[in-house]
Amino acid sequence: MGKKIGGKVKPAPEAPATVEEIRGAYVALTPAELLKLEKYSMWKTRGLERMGGPEFSADSLFGEAMMRTLDGSKNWYKSKVSFFVFFHGAMKNIAGHWHTHLKSRNASFEAQNKRLNYRDGEPDPMDVLPAGGRSAEDVLIDAEDAAYASDFIAQIKTKFSDDQLALDVLDGWSAGMTPKEIQDILGIQRRDFETVQRRLTRAIDETRDRGGVNE
């Protein structure tokens, strides 16, 4: 029952979906929605798994988002958004936290490594870093990431050097633009954009599967 304020009845706040409602909602997701969420989780965790290990995989993101939805730490309000939209938001939020966590963890290890290197005559950081932490070798891998990213982008661009539309879409993505913004700027239809999207993502996948760079 809502409260009466100033002569108007203010509706009672909506209760979050129950566990049973959440169960009903995930079972009712369409094959297309399931596959879009899968693709989203795969691309969203690209780089995270490399930074943090298998616990930051796409499947882990899925599991974590679902667990948090069921245990009530993430609330879905049925009248506001569909379960598909809600779940996309939940995964986005968790991946964001993972990213921040991994970045700060890596920064802290790098700072520790620098301090150890600064003091002359101190033991090698490789021997000093705690077993549970990341080794100096891991920190070096981080430093290599910059070169990896640079080579990766260059390799994709070379692959599409004769396809200006693909290069433009790639630039749009690198600038953080939405599909709609890219379509509007390039003056292309959704169908054409999606065709390029599939071509590009397949090429990126293949590049990654073959080991990424320097082949």
Partner 1 sequence: MNKKPGDQVVNLEIMFDSIAESFIDISDEGIFSAIKEEGRDVTVASARVRDLFAKADKKFRQKSLEEARALHKQHVSSLHSRPLVIQGSAADKRKWLEFALLQKPEMGRALTLQHREFSSVTDEEVDSYLRQLIELGVINLQELKTDTDD
C-alpha angle 87/92/96, rounded to 5°? 150
The answer to whether residue 166 forms part of the interface with partner 1 (CB under 8 A) is no
The answer to whether residue 175 forms part of the interface with partner 1 (CB under 8 A) is yes
Q: Which helix (H) or strand (E) holds 5?
A: strand 3-5
Residue 127 Cβ vs partner 1, minimum distance, rounded to whole Å: 28
Options 9, 15, 35, 185; binder of partner 1; rule CB under 8 A = 35
The answer to whether residue 172 forms part of the interface with partner 1 (CB under 8 A) is yes
Residue 3 Cβ vs partner 1, minimum distance, rounded to whole Å: 33
Residues 97 and 86: their CA atoms lie apart, in Å, by: 17
The answer to whether residue 174 forms part of the interface with partner 1 (CB under 8 A) is yes
Contacts with partner 1, 70-89, as mask; x by CB under 8 A: xx----------------x-
The answer to whether residue 23 forms part of the interface with partner 1 (CB under 8 A) is yes
The answer to whether residue 17 forms part of the interface with partner 1 (CB under 8 A) is no
